């Protein structure tokens, strides 16, 4: 769809609850209009939003982090995959899009950074994103159909 971000090395999460900080750290590297932060710096900065398990409280803590004025993000919540695809398509015109969604693979909310989107009648909707669960770039067809019934939180540049 637009600029390629696959040259930016993925960041693997440090533990099973670290997807949010690894994703945010990668997003700062891929977005030239904001200062770069490390995974550890993000954890310290937003430690007040963490739950008892050490992970960020989802979805409220994730939305609060994304709403921090220093990132310059518009934060949207939807339960519609179609609405999410529209917002992602709009957001990618300026920079990668932060996304938190219910992921059956991890049994809870998961944060990734979407950096490409493709839609066709033949192939359906495909998102390419940096996934901190394993620290990889991956393309997944109809990923948001897994989020049925749960909020999808998106942060994209204003």
- Domains with residue ranges and CATH for the chain: 19-157 (3.90.70.10)
Residue 6 has pLDDT above 80, yes or no: yes
Nearest Cα to 87, choosing from 133, 30, 125?
A: 125
Instruction: Output the CA torsion 142→146→148→150 (10° steps).
Output: -120
- pTM, entire model: 0.93
- For residue 82, what is the enclosing H or E element? helix 81-91
Mean pLDDT score, 76-98: 90
Mean pLDDT score, 2-26: 93
Nearest Cα to 93, choosing from 112, 70, 117, 76?
A: 117
User: d(Cα 2, Cα 109) in Å, to the nearest integer?
Assistant: 27
Mean pLDDT score, 33-45: 97
Nearest Cα to 29, choosing from 43, 14, 2, 8?
A: 8
Question: Cα separations (Å) of 62 from 108, 124, 144?
Answer: 13, 28, 18
Residues 6+ apart with CB under 8 A from 4: 115, 116
Residue 1 has pLDDT above 60, yes or no: no
pLDDT recorded at residue 143: 63
């Amino acid at each position: 769809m637009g600029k390629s971000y696959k040259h930016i090395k993925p960041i693997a999460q440090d533990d099973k609850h670290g997807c949010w900080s690894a994703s945010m750290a990668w997003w700062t590297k891929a977005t030239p209009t904001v200062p770069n932060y490390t995974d550890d710096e993000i954890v310290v900065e937003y430690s007040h939003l963490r739950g008892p398990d050490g992970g960020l409280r989802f979805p409220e803590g994730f939305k609060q982090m994304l709403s921090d004025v220093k990132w310059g993000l518009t934060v949207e919540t939807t339960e519609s995959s179609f609405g999410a695809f529209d917002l992602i398509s709009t957001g990618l015109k300026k920079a990668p899009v932060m996304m938190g969604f219910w992921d059956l693979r991890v049994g809870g909310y998961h944060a990734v950074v979407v950096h490409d989107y493709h839609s066709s009648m033949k192939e359906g909707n495909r998102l390419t994103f940096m996934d901190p669960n394993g620290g990889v770039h991956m393309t997944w067809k109809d990923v948001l159909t897994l989020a049925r019934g749960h909020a999808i939180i998106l942060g994209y540049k204003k």
